[in-house]
Amino acid sequence: MRKLNVLIAGSTGYIGVQLIKLLINHKYINIKYLCGNSSVGKKISDYDKSLKTKKLPKIIKFTKNLLKNIDVIFTALPNGEAQDISKHLSKNITLIDLAADFRLENSSDYLKWYKQKHRSRKLIKKSIYSLPEINNKNLKNYQIISCPGCYPTSILLSLIPLVKNKLIKVNNIIIDSKSGYSGAGRNVYKKYENKNLYESLSAYGVGFHRHNSEIDQTLRKFTNKEINFIFTPHLTPMFRGILSTIYVDLESNVTQSKVINKLSQFYKKDGFVKILKQDSLISTNDVINTNNCFISVCKTKYKNKIIILSAIDNLIKGGAGQAVQNLNLKFNFPPKTALWNF
């Protein structure tokens, strides 16, 4: 089988570097171009020393002429930039976007939440939002694949099976998520230069974080009822990992055991989502440097309320790993290719 030629735009960010680390172990992929802006002319090993012994191209500036011999583009860029690249796609090129440019189905929602007009609106219909464990559509029919955000990944994997099977009430869901500071990108140090990043826990985007739109849009596909939830993210003094704590009310005659059984049944054939024994306490250390999502269902002092814990690595399962999952789905590669031993 011929290897697919890949271009990675935004190769020096935390997600971009993690993507490179995965793809160098993908037996069906050849990394042909690494692209950046301020990093042009540098080696990727300047950003991660563990790549020093790997044979990788120097970083160059993206131009449309690079696409002549490319099969797949990964975009790990600031929001908005993948839209411009998407305009240069030929029919044989697949774009897998790790930002938010094609997550929302309506350009008006993109303007509302991301405060910029969508510059490639016609291509939204040619794209698909793909959470690999949930998506049941054939990715071969789509040229643009949008990967979910890191927070929504940890949240939606926990909630979708329960909403779909009418096990929980959807009018009062409380979501508290905590992420390592890598989720804020390499410039996080500038944003928090007046605070001690390593000794501080900070709430941000309270009430109106952009990922609200993505969570809402997705959950509405699985219920006819009105969805009401509150989502609050926090930045923690650790480098990577996400732990989401989700408070939900059970529907009548639904028990903690029934919820666990349904989740276990839903993901029984999945290689990455692990449903733990009831009341298991999980931490980000359980999943960092893996493509796994650990989910635990905990009882409370109220019979009709449970707490769901969901942990992922924001850079892998919430980012690069999920992108590779979508690559494998699109091209019918074995699901765990490049995702099992790293």
Integer Cα distance of 336 and 147 in angstroms: 17
Q: Counting every residue, how long is the chain?
A: 342
At residue 150, what are phi and psi to the nearest 5 degrees?
Answer: -65, -50
DSSP string, 266-277: HTTT-SSEEEPP
Q: Which two tokens stand for residue 189?
A: 């140090």
β-pair type (144-146, 94-97): parallel
Q: Work out the number of other CB atoms within 10 angstroms of the CB of residue 239.
A: 15
| Burial annotation 309-318 (CB, 10 A radius, 16+ → b, else e) | bbbbbbbbbb
Side-chain-facing half-sphere of 322: CA atoms under 13 Å: 33
Active site residue 150: yes
Per the listing, tokens 């230069």 go with 193
Helices 150-164 and 256-266, axial angle in degrees (round to 10): 110
Partner residues linked to 298 by β-bridges: 307
Q: Which is catalytic among the residues 147, 150, 293, 298?
A: 150
E-only strand ranges, the chain: 4-9, 29-35, 59-60, 72-75, 94-97, 127-129, 144-146, 173-180, 202-203, 229-236, 242-249, 273-275, 293-299, 305-312
Task: Tell me which residue of 38, 122, 115 sits closest to 80, measured CA to CA.
Answer: 115
Q: Give the residue numbers marked as catalytic.
A: 150
